[in-house]
Amino acid sequence: MSDDDGDRFDDDGGTALATKPKPKTKRPPLYKVMLLNDDYTPMEFVVLVLERFFGIGHAQATEIMLTVHKKGLAVVGVFPFEIAETKVSQVMDFARRHQHPLQCTMEKEE
Ligand code: TYC
């Protein structure tokens, strides 16, 4: 059968593969960055973290903070590995410097 790809291999003399090999276009994996709730970090501090490190506006940052407060955690962004790792470090350092127990983690997206 003609494969219409313009090459010289329309007729391979009867040794065609049963299935075409899949072109490998693997996207790099993405990682979810999550904030976890705790009883001590001030709500305003969490809103500031979302604004400063994730570029989220005040209204949406407040909504996400309240979601974490009520549900226990929320995904705050999805990034390639190195960027996710940097966000986690920045948040953890900032929280530690202010002596808040805020936790930020990352998890590979399925
Ligand atoms: N639960 C905290 C409080 O009542 C607020 C909070 C929200 C803490 C989100 C952490 O990731 C967090 N002060």
Note the pLDDT of residue 14: 52
100 Cβ closer than 6 Å to some ligand 1 atom: no
Dihedral sign for Cα atoms in the order 92, 94, 97, 103: negative
Task: Output the residue whose Cα is nearest ligand 1's atom 12.
Answer: 37
Q: How far apart are CA 105 and CA 87, in angstroms?
A: 9
How far away, in angstroms, is 55 Cα from ligand 1 center?
A: 19
Q: Which atom of ligand 1 is nearest to the CA of 68?
A: 9
Note the pLDDT of residue 26: 87
Amino acid at 75: V
Q: Mean pLDDT per segment of 10 residues, for the chain of length 110 residues? A: 40 60 88 98 98 98 98 98 98 98 96
DSSP lists the bridge partners of residue 79 as 31
Note the pLDDT of residue 109: 95
41 Cβ closer than 6 Å to some ligand 1 atom: yes
Note the pLDDT of residue 25: 87
